[in-house]
Amino acid sequence: MTTSSCAIPSTLGGPPISSLVPPGKCQFTPEFASVPLLERFPVSETSSVLRFGLPDDSKPLNLSTCACILAKADLPSKSSAGEKEEKAEATEVVVRPYTPISTNAQVGSFDLLVKHYEYGLMSQHMRKMPIGSELEFKHIDFNVKIQAPFKQSHIGMIVGGTGVTPMIQALHAILGDSSNQTKVSMLYGSKVSSDILGNEMLTKWANDFSDKLTVTHVLSDEPSDSDWKGARGFISKDLVEQHLPPPSLGDDAIIFICGPPPMYDAISGPRGEDEVKGVLAQVGYAMEQVYKF
């Protein structure tokens, strides 16, 4: 396994860049295509940025705002773990969605911010795959999300873990356009302070664009004896009411939410359901004011 000698990739240390492309222009099509892993940048003990090539390295990815792509690999199945080596190892096709953190200003490659879950088949494969080896990707219409420029004047973001990646794309579109006056308030749930994905970049952007962006972190598993002075526990009704745009703003407010299934269940209702439930329903948000990624 080879990693980059660079401490941090430009996509986690650079300024926001607005480089919007409409849906239908992505280099990846509904058919899977193999591209090489070019570099790997470890950013914490459990996460890294992976830079992949493109089918046409003379062009950018050309992915529309907040959209995701699908990665596919044929990997050893969980059921085969622990079997004797002489037995044929069972495999399964694993497909996972990822939203790049790079923009369409990046030519010839794209970057994924990946959390390497202990039992995640795809994320562990990405952690171990050699530089130069290939992975398959595709993009389908179903994976096109809400498009920038956004019409609302105040956007609330509720984020859990790797759910930050589509929000990074939205922030590029907003903060990277000097004429855009949209305000963004983010509630970002993580386990511990040492593994907040994209923390350095979000902190810098919140400082550089303090009139547009606020980020409030909420940690569920931070050690009680740490020097963390921020919020602890989980994103709650009180935190939503304190930090996010109120539902009384009507069409001028929208809440973006992206995170693990338990977050959806508690905050907005399941991702596949249009109806708003949980905390956001208690606060009074209408269905039209909530977008579930």
pLDDT digits 0-9 by tens, 67-111: 999 999 999 876 555 554 545 578 899 999 999 999 999 999 999
Q: What is the pLDDT of residue 1?
A: 47
User: What pLDDT was estimated at residue 89?
Assistant: 74
For residue 282, CA distances in Å to 64, 157, 186, 188, 218 come to: 33, 17, 19, 20, 20
Give the Cα separation of 117 and 270 in Å (integer): 22
Mean of all residue pLDDT scores within the chain: 93
pLDDT computed for residue 21 by the predictor: 97
Q: In 3D, which of 219, 196, 11, 6 has the Cα closest to residue 102?
A: 11
Q: Give every strand in the sheet of 290-292, ordered side by side.
A: 231-232, 213-219, 183-190, 154-160, 253-258, 290-292
Give the model confidence (pLDDT) of 40-72 as tens digits. 999 988 899 999 999 999 999 999 999 999 999
pTM listed for this prediction: 0.92
Residues of the chain with pLDDT under 50: 1-2, 5, 84, 86
Instruction: At 270, list the tokens.
Output: 């399941």
